[in-house]
Amino acid sequence: MLLTVEEAQKRILAHPLPIMPTERVSLLQAWGRVLAEDIVSGDDIPRFTNSSMDGFAVLANDLSQASTAQPVALRVKGTIAAGHPSAQSLAPGEAYKIMTGAPLPEGADAVVQSEWTQIPEENQVLALAAVRPGQNVRPKGQDIQRGEQVLQTGSVIKAPIVGILATVGRKEVMVYRKPRVAIIATGDELVDPGQELEPGKIRNSNSYALAASSLAAGAEPLIFPPAADTQEMISQRFRQASSADIILSSGGVSVGDFDWVKNVLSTEGSLELWRVNMKPGKPVTFGTLHNRPFFGLPGNPVSALVTFELFVRPVIRMMMASHHWQRRVLSLPLYQPFSEVHDRRHYVRSRLVQDGDRLYVWPYQKQDSAVQSSWREAEALMVVPENSGPYRSGEVLPVILLTTDS
């Protein structure tokens, strides 16, 4: 019996995974990282009561009867621009012209927006509408209160969080260090881009695709030169890779004559899991090597990426202490029939299509695990249960979104 994907994920995540140490980074370097401190605001935000409109600061009470038929005239004492608080206060019968974001003058309690005013003569304004106290006003502390915890350890720092950090005055912030992921492709046939291809050789694409996936997951990839298919070479590379936090290899985990990765793993570390009931990616391997989590991913380019997505990415996110390490899964109807039936769980590279206001899943035609072109713009993996199908258009299947975390 092969392990199910869920069982394999559970076993991998139950493994004692080290959490990365923390480091201090500047605001922009913090983007995409995981917050390693709770952020408490030292200020009320906004710091002062201010106008949310361009208009006139007033006393709401003065305008309680104002309408287009019966405008109320007020004396304009001056203009308050953003960044320039007024030294004087406002008395009944008076108004200040005020800009969005400018501090409300002492004594005012509302703003009537420009659209509801007329200027009959200099230093006078006619209000054409009543305002409630507090209308068009952003009170001090409305957004965040002094002493309030605004952000929590474990949050992924996206643009709004960068904005909040700047708002509360942070120039630097503590984050978890990026896990370093060592990537070692194995195979006698592999040649890196830029080097000459002899007959029978192919390009090493996995190292680069896995490095890109590691970057996207928030890690720091370290590409090692490919290892030839001998136990000695593979063992040597894995030892070199042990300065990283996670070790990934691709290729050499199947049942071929030159598939040495599992041997090296069980001799020099421990092999904890091999083969999962999935397509592509069945021979995926997990264990501990040089005290590091080790993944032996299959060599087929699509298998390598699918197993990275399902098994490696969650580990990277966990080690970064992220609260968000699982992808969102939606139930979506098929846009076209899907007729392939397999005895293993099938992770099908798919696009999403919007037709009217409905979202559909649209699998790529070619699903062979060596076909990379059908991964090109894949946004999703449709999950087809083992021994099920064929499916008609409109039938609903679970779909893993490759673009968002839950």
Residues binding ligand AMP (CB under 6 A): 185, 187, 189-190, 202, 204-207, 250-252, 254, 256, 298-301
Q: Is the peptide bond before 385 cis (omega within 30 degrees of 0)?
A: no
Candidate list 187, 280, 296, 298; residue touching Mg ion; CB under 5 A: 187
Closest separation in Å from C-beta 212 to Mg ion: 21
Closest separation in Å from C-beta 244 to Mg ion: 22
If the CB atoms of residues 294 and 335 are measured against Mg ion, the closer one turns out to be 294
Q: Are 248 and 184 in contact (CB under 8 A)?
A: yes
End-to-end CA distance of the chain, in Å? 31
Query: Distance between CA 303 and CA 251 in Å, rounded?
Result: 10
If the CB atoms of residues 251 and 314 are measured against ligand AMP, the closer one turns out to be 251
Distances in whole angstroms, Cα of residue 221 to Cα of each of 68, 82, 207, 208, 241: 66, 46, 9, 9, 11
Residue 251 binding Mg ion, by CB under 5 A: yes
- Tell which residue, 312, 382, 388, has the closest CA to residue 353: 382
If the CB atoms of residues 250 and 367 are measured against ligand AMP, the closer one turns out to be 250
If the CB atoms of residues 100 and 263 are measured against Mg ion, the closer one turns out to be 263
If the CB atoms of residues 15 and 275 are measured against ligand AMP, the closer one turns out to be 275
Closest separation in Å from C-beta 249 to ligand AMP: 9
Q: What is the number of the residue whose Cβ is closest to ligand AMP? A: 299
The piece of 101-109, 146-154, 218-226, 299-307 that touches Mg ion (CB under 5 A) is: 299-307
Give the long-range contacts of residues 354-363, CB within 8 A, separation 24 or more. Answer: 358/333, 359/330, 359/332, 360/332, 360/333, 360/334, 360/335, 361/332, 361/333, 361/334, 361/335, 361/397, 361/399, 362/334, 362/335, 362/336, 363/334, 363/336, 363/338
Closest separation in Å from C-beta 247 to Mg ion: 17
> What tokens does 225 get?
């030169």
DSSP code of residue 356: T
- How many residues does this entry show for the chain? 406
The piece of 43-51, 293-301, 313-321, 396-404 that touches Mg ion (CB under 5 A) is: 293-301
Closest separation in Å from C-beta 290 to ligand AMP: 22
Per-residue string for binding with Mg ion, 10-49, x by CB under 5 A?
A: ----------------------------------------
Q: Which does 367 bind (CB under 5 to 8 A by kind): Mg ion, ligand AMP, none?
A: none
Give the contacts of 275 (CB within 8 A, at least 6 positions apart). Answer: 2, 3, 282, 283, 284, 285
If the CB atoms of residues 25 and 223 are measured against ligand AMP, the closer one turns out to be 223
Element (H, E) at 352: strand 345-355
Query: Distance between CA 309 and CA 322 in Å, rounded?
Result: 16
Q: Which does 254 bind (CB under 5 to 8 A by kind): ligand AMP, Mg ion, none?
A: ligand AMP
If the CB atoms of residues 228 and 353 are measured against ligand AMP, the closer one turns out to be 228
Q: Strands 180-185 and 55-58: what pairing?
A: unpaired
If the CB atoms of residues 252 and 287 are measured against ligand AMP, the closer one turns out to be 252
Residues in 351-370 that interact with Mg ion by CB under 5 A = none
- The residues of the shown chain that bind Mg ion, judged by CB under 5 A, are 187, 251-252, 299
